Amino acid sequence: MKSLAQQTEQDMSGAASVLSRQKRDHERLDRLLNRLGAAPADQQAPLLMRVYRLVFPHAFAEEAVLWPTLRRVLPDGELLTLRVEQEHQQINELVAELDGTAPDSSDRAQLLERIVALLRQDVRDEEDRLLPRLQDAVSPAQLRRLGWAWEAVRRIAPTRAHPIVSRRPPGNVLAALPLSLLDRSRDGIDALLHRGAGPATEPLRALSSALAFASNLVERLPGMRKGEDPSTSVSDKHLPGWRAAAAATVVAGAVLAVRSSRGR
């Protein structure tokens, strides 16, 4: 069993196979993390957004398409996939924490360091252990079919950290569409803010916060945690209740409405 790091595209059953697609993304992530590590703190936000847009849809599609397949075809698939799901969960929780930390907080550097270390560990676990096991268990044609399925889900998957939703179907599949719409709208707004939005800055900030609260609310809807292993579940006592999230969404919406009516 050879790590994907030592395999050519031909060894991995061609460019369309899920192994080649995974390795290409992992290499892009490595380059982005190197750039992030070299960037001064005040220039990290747009790079972090690019990391999130790469990592979260990638991992979401693994959880929805690849790990269920590994559980079906390998006798120890349950144990193998649970370990990476736990890594994904930790990354989701740390990124949610980082997003809630003030830009000038001294905690940011340490949080970022832990996130980067976990992302690199996740890549190693997948390239050295899980994906070579998948390669041994299924045919080259199946690897290519899985590649198309993984790619299709990745293109419509959420782009932000969502620590509350299940890391397994059916909860994560149910959550995918509403969270993806909210995340991708927020990405567009945040990109405008990073470029400098002039007088629209405040209303756009309020809109971005309202969308963040709305996705917080969606994460708490019935069914979104279905299928979860207890070890990847965020304890209820650490979460603000859905009523608090609903109230915050309404307040953010009202603030936005007042600001935009003043702006007219």
58 within 8 A of 46, measured Cβ to Cβ: no
Nearer to Fe ion, 65 or 248 (CB): 65
Q: Collect all residues with Cβ–Cβ distance below 8 Å to 157 and sequence separation of at least 6.
A: 56, 57, 60, 61, 64, 176, 180
Total interface residues for Fe ion by CB under 5 A = 4
- Provide the minimum distance between the beta carbon of 58 and Fe ion in the complex, in angstroms, as a whole number: 6
* 63 scored as a contact of Fe ion (CB under 5 A): no
Site for Fe ion in 165-204 (CB under 5 A): none
Binding mask 17-56 for Fe ion (x = CB under 5 A): -----x----------------------------------
Alpha helices in 62-200 (DSSP H): 67-73, 77-99, 107-125, 131-137, 140-155, 171-195
Query: What is the DSSP secondary-structure string of 198-213?
Result: GGGHHHHHHHHHHHHH
The CA distance from 143 to 39, in Å, is 37
- What number of CA atoms fall less than 13 Å from residue 203's CA on the CB side? 12
- Provide the minimum distance between the beta carbon of 32 and Fe ion in the complex, in angstroms, as a whole number: 14
Q: Which tokens go with 131? A: 């994906």
- Provide the minimum distance between the beta carbon of 260 and Fe ion in the complex, in angstroms, as a whole number: 39
Nearer to Fe ion, 97 or 125 (CB): 125
- Provide the minimum distance between the beta carbon of 239 and Fe ion in the complex, in angstroms, as a whole number: 24
Whole-angstrom CA distances from 75 to 4, 69, 72, 122, 133 are 21, 11, 8, 21, 11
| CA 187 to centroid of chain Cα atoms | 13
Q: Which stretch binds Fe ion (CB under 5 A): 16-24, 185-193, 203-211, 226-234?
A: 16-24
Nearer to Fe ion, 59 or 248 (CB): 59
Site for Fe ion in 112-151 (CB under 5 A): 122, 126
Nearer to Fe ion, 126 or 228 (CB): 126
Task: Give the residue carrying structure tokens 């980067």.
Answer: 116
- Provide the minimum distance between the beta carbon of 145 and Fe ion in the complex, in angstroms, as a whole number: 18
- Provide the minimum distance between the beta carbon of 20 and Fe ion in the complex, in angstroms, as a whole number: 12
Q: Which of 33, 51, 59, 153 binds Fe ion (CB under 5 A)?
A: 59
Q: What spatial distance separates the first Cα and last Cα of the chain, rounded to whole Å? A: 64
Nearer to Fe ion, 6 or 105 (CB): 6
- Provide the minimum distance between the beta carbon of 88 and Fe ion in the complex, in angstroms, as a whole number: 6
Q: Is 238 exposed, middle or buried (0-12, 13-18, 19+ CB in 10 A)?
A: exposed
| Residues in contact with Fe ion by the rule CB under 5 A | 22, 59, 122, 126
